A and B are shown apart, each in its own frame.
Chain A
């Protein structure tokens, strides 16, 4: 599945962004299937905005985002739900877990959204063990530290089938060891699915062997 952006420009940031050059904004960019994409962006250049545009939860832009050669607005609500259940997964910067659910339930919610879950429960346990969060699974997500929540959000994103994984500063609150483990897990899961990812972050990093780098 191919994601393509054409002259994409956020309306609220337009004036500011037109004064600088960007590898993404107002350009034609194609993210080819299966590639690991890193987008480096200083604060305030619309990093989160871009992820939201790509995931189609914000619409205040000019230009087009084409998914499978179809612009996002051409998808109806049911098709959009199918895309989000089976083709595009996301790790939000603000994580967006349900506070009224436990950590495990937050993951299961995404897992059982499909009538035939992609991952077994054992697989979830494995992932939790690899990210050192097994002990917090039964806790309410409200009581977790930000770092723990971040790892739960990562596992949640990996519990579904996808061809693209969108990540918005996914390791911002993890120490080096946990970052390494999480990155390894993500790379492994992407390879297993032949999926690609788009990762936005503030700085350069060596967590993955990226195929493409962009400057926002």
Chain B
């Protein structure tokens, strides 16, 4: 086939409008680069959010409750989750783990030991152990034990140390001291009361509540519970990405609320996603125009060699031979553009990875599979459009 194509080169001049063709090629290159950058940024974002290397930054626990509005004040059951609502939350794709927060249905009074003269009414809650950020040997309770491990919110001690104690002239207390203090815990219900010793096992940043082991909670609710079954008004979920916009939307749509601070990243992410989408969109537009110019260019070549093509066909040249020849004039260039774009993107990605690494954010220094798939897809699309154009106009002339 080669010597035949050599001769065709002299008959069908593809040099016509070369500068326009080169400009379209540059356009294709830029379009491809924009599309690939959009794909890669998206993949980088996913790596930052979901890869195990960055896990500590993002995977998070959210305590979700219903918004208390003026309309539902005084109607406690309205703030409770029904079974259907719980199932609905569990079914969401962003929920990795789900736990109910069980509240105490008995009265709790806690007294500080010795001459601290501190006593308060309190409540307990419990969550499944998997949701706790405080783990330790002490965190267990079996029936009959007099000592109950308790987890306090970190904020609680901070409120005392930096708010209350200073203004009241009381001593500030360290976490260690609190852990060492035995607290007198009296729980009571309709059937009597019982005294325990509470030991603070740790401080949680995750859940703002007074937590006891689930085994104790179940036992105490059973024995001293004043109501049959307390409705669930708070649930805890583990989500890989609290900034996930679908999560935020889900909460808004259902009138749920959670710690807003944990969701603020979502807005940043939305902005970045928008920008990336716009870049990708411009890439697509540019790609469209590049393909348009290519098509017109092919059309121009075929139209300007109409007589020659007709004579070639008259002499027995198969339309397939002409199509192969014409495509061969363009396809190598597309492949070169694709390779150059990939190389550029690899360089960009290496640079990005190096810069991010300085900020302790790990992304792969190599372009992701999506980028290669994108290159193949764009090249495939351009090839297809070329093929269709060549087919159409060669068939018209032959």
Nearest-neighbour CB distance to chain A for B300, whole angstroms, equals 18
Our pick among B11, B311, B319 for the contact of A77 (Cβ within 8 Å) is B319
Flag if B11 contacts A100 (CB, 8 Å): yes
Give complex CA distance A110, B8 in Å. 11
Our pick among B10, B311, B316 for the contact of A113 (Cβ within 8 Å) is B316
| A78 with B314, Cβ < 8 A, contacts A101-B7, A112-B3, A112-B4 known | no
Return the chain B residue nearest A85 by Cβ: B316
In this complex, which of A84, A109, A112 has the most chain B Cβ atoms within 10 angstroms of its Cβ?
A109
Within 8 A of A (CB), among B1-48: 1, 3-4, 7, 10-11
Return the chain B residue nearest A101 by Cβ: B10
The interface residues of chain A lying within 8 Å CB-to-CB of B319 are: 77-78, 81
Flag if A109 contacts B318 (CB, 8 Å): no
Flag if B11 contacts A113 (CB, 8 Å): no
| A113 with B314, Cβ < 8 A, contacts A101-B7, A108-B3 known | no
| A78 with B7, Cβ < 8 A, contacts A57-B314, A109-B315, A110-B315 known | no
Cβ of B321 under 8 Å from chain A: yes
Instruction: Provide the main secondary structure of the chain A interface.
Output: helix
Our pick among B4, B10, B318 for the contact of A100 (Cβ within 8 Å) is B10
Cβ of B351 under 8 Å from chain A: no
The interface residues of chain B lying within 8 Å CB-to-CB of A160 are: 316
The interface residues of chain A lying within 8 Å CB-to-CB of B80 are: none
Within 8 A of B (CB), among A188-210: none
Binary per-residue interface labels of chain A (90-105) against chain B in the complex, 1 for a CB within 8 Å, 0 otherwise: 0000001010110001
Nearest-neighbour CB distance to chain A for B307, whole angstroms, equals 10
The interface residues of chain A lying within 8 Å CB-to-CB of B316 are: 81, 83-85, 110, 113, 160
| A113 with B308, Cβ < 8 A, contacts A77-B398, A98-B11, A105-B7 known | no
Binary per-residue interface labels of chain A (149-176) against chain B in the complex, 1 for a CB within 8 Å, 0 otherwise: 0000000000010000000000000000
Our pick among B7, B315, B318 for the contact of A82 (Cβ within 8 Å) is B318
Within 8 A of A (CB), among B148-196: none
Flag if B11 contacts A101 (CB, 8 Å): yes
Return the chain A residue nearest B1 by Cβ: A115
| A113 with B315, Cβ < 8 A, contacts A100-B11, A101-B7, A101-B11 known | yes
Cβ of B317 under 8 Å from chain A: yes
Flag if A81 contacts B317 (CB, 8 Å): yes
The interface residues of chain B lying within 8 Å CB-to-CB of A105 are: 7, 10
Within 8 A of A (CB), among B252-294: none
Write the residues of chain A forming the contact surface with B, with a CB cutoff of 8 angstroms. 57, 77-78, 81-85, 96, 98, 100-101, 105, 108-110, 112-113, 115, 160
Write the residues of chain B forming the contact surface with A, with a CB cutoff of 8 angstroms. 1, 3-4, 7, 10-11, 308, 311, 313-321, 395, 398
- Extra pairs beyond A105-B10, A112-B7, A113-B316 (6, CB < 8 Å): A78-B320, A81-B319, A84-B314, A108-B3, A109-B11, A113-B321
